[in-house]
Structure 1
Amino acid sequence: MAEIMPPQVDAEQSSLAVPSLLQNIMVGWGLLGGVIFVVIVVMSIVSIVGRKLFGAPITGDVELLMMGAAVGSAAFLPLCEWEDHHIKVDALTGWMSTKKRAGLDAIAHLLLCAMASLIAWRSTLYAIEARENAEMSTLLLVPQWLPISFLVPSFALLAVAAYCRAGNAIRIAWSDR
């Protein structure tokens, strides 16, 4: 795979405190997503065993599974973007120079930044609306604004990560090398 690696920068040339802090936040957020998935897997196993052996599944397990899967999977997105581990199709760009690929990557990262910002904004508005309208899930009566509001930080972090990756790709595309 033809991946563009960030240029090595001396500690004296640039302060790495902000990127390091962002990376720690994104790693922590991704780990939280992993914990959510572990919890919903354990809950699903308990519910299935309870249903088969005792005729007593966990009430609303599918609702919890859907909410948890949405929140958990969204939590992985910022770290995937930060580490540049999204799926890429390099068949069309493998022959290009590093600078041209970096230019295309910059466009892709900026588009992702715009879309993640839009989704974070619209999710915030929907969470506010769902809270005002007292929307609840069907079985457990979980307020719908709660899981939706947990999506907002994931998409905001995704926008920040995409913005940082775009800046890195632009520096590579405009470099003298």
Structure 2
Amino acid sequence: MSELNEAYQLAGITEAAGAGQGRRSSSFGCLLERASSGLAVSGGVIFLALIVMSIVSIVGRKLFAAPIQGDVELMQMGTAIGAAAFLPYCEIHDHHIKVDAFSGWLSASARSVLDAVAHLAIMTVAGLLAWRTALQAIDTFSSGEISTLLSFPMWIPIALLVPSFALLSLGGAYRAAYSLNKQKRGTV
């Protein structure tokens, strides 16, 4: 828990009295925290809606021979949007899976530099994904592509991925700066 408190302190977060919840004192950190939390909650709501839809479709198919039309298309679109919505939250809180097998023997300072490199890589890849996905949404909009069963415009779910990737990129930059700041201050 002390590592989390240290991360909050270095990222400009102060502990709320007795609540155990941090509050960011920097406006950029606060904005990233709120945006990533909002996206994560929306991703959770999407997954809950998909679960309900799936249950209704399965029950309808088995009991009444009346499944939800296009449930697979909706599941594919919703899953992509929901899963992408969780990524910025994982990045801003540094909850991605790490494999320490190759870096366990390194000093804490060297591991901090490696963390910064990994966060910069996430920032770069997420930025590229946001850019290319936005271009794909524009192209899909101009071509008028629609889904097979529902005739739903495909540019909408594609465009809904862009904010998640953009926020993931910003979160990667933020975490890279945090890791480098942590290494520079010698608090590793």
Q: Taking structure 1 as the reference length, what is the TM-score of the superposition?
A: 0.92
Q: 1:142 aligns with which of 152, 177, 186?
A: 152
Q: Which has the higher contact order (CA 8 A, sep 6+)?
A: 1
1:44 equivalent to 2:54? Answer yes
- CA distance in 1 between partners of 2:57 and 2:9 (Å): 50
Query: Does the residue aligned with 1:174 lie in a helix, a strand or coil?
Result: helix
**Structure 1 stretch 96-105 or stretch 44-53: which is displaced more?**
96-105
Matches within 5 A, 1:145-160: 145-160=155-170
CA distance in 1, matches of 2:186, 2:164: 35
- Alignment-derived partner of residue 135 in structure 2: 125
Aligned-pair distance for 1:25? 1.1
Structure 2: give runs of 5+ residues left out of the alignment.
14-23
Aligned match of 1:55: 65
TM alignment of 1:11-22, pairs within 5 A: 15-22=25-32
Residue deviations 1:100-128 (CA, integer Å, cap 9, x gap):
00100111100110000000000000000
CA distance in 2, matches of 1:124, 1:20: 26
**Aligned position for 2:94:** 84
Q: Distance in 2 between matches of 1:171 and 1:7?
A: 13
Q: Distance in 1 between matches of 2:164 and 2:141?
A: 19
Sequence identity of aligned pairs in percent?
51
Contact conserved, 1:120 with 1:153, CA < 8 A, in 2?
yes
Please point out which of 99, 109, 112 is paired with 2:119. Answer: 109
Matched, 1:35 2:36: no
1:80 is matched by which residue type in structure 2? Answer: C
Aligned to 1:175: 185
Mapped contact 2:109–2:186 kept (Cα < 8 A):
no
User: Which amino acid letter does the alignment assign opposite residue 98 of structure 1?
Assistant: A
Alignment coverage as a number of residue pairs: 174
Deviates more, 1:14-23 or 1:145-154: 14-23
Measured after TM superposition, the shift of residue 96 of structure 1 is 1.7
- Which segments of 5 or more consecutive residues in structure 1 lack a partner in the other structure? none
State the TM-score, normalizing by the size of structure 2. Answer: 0.87
Q: Alpha-carbon deviation of 1:7?
A: 6.7
- Contact conserved, 1:67 with 1:147, CA < 8 A, in 2? yes
Question: Do the aligned residues in 2 keep the contact of 1:7 with 1:172 (CA within 8 Å)?
Answer: no
Cα drift, residue 36 of structure 1: 0.2
What amino acid maps onto 1:57 in structure 2? P
* Structure 2 letter corresponding to 1:23: E
The separation in 2 between residues aligned to 1:139 and 1:37, in whole angstroms, is 21
Distance 2:82 2:169 in 1: 17
Asked if the contact 1:116–1:159 (Cα under 8 Å) also holds between the matched residues in 2, the reply is: yes
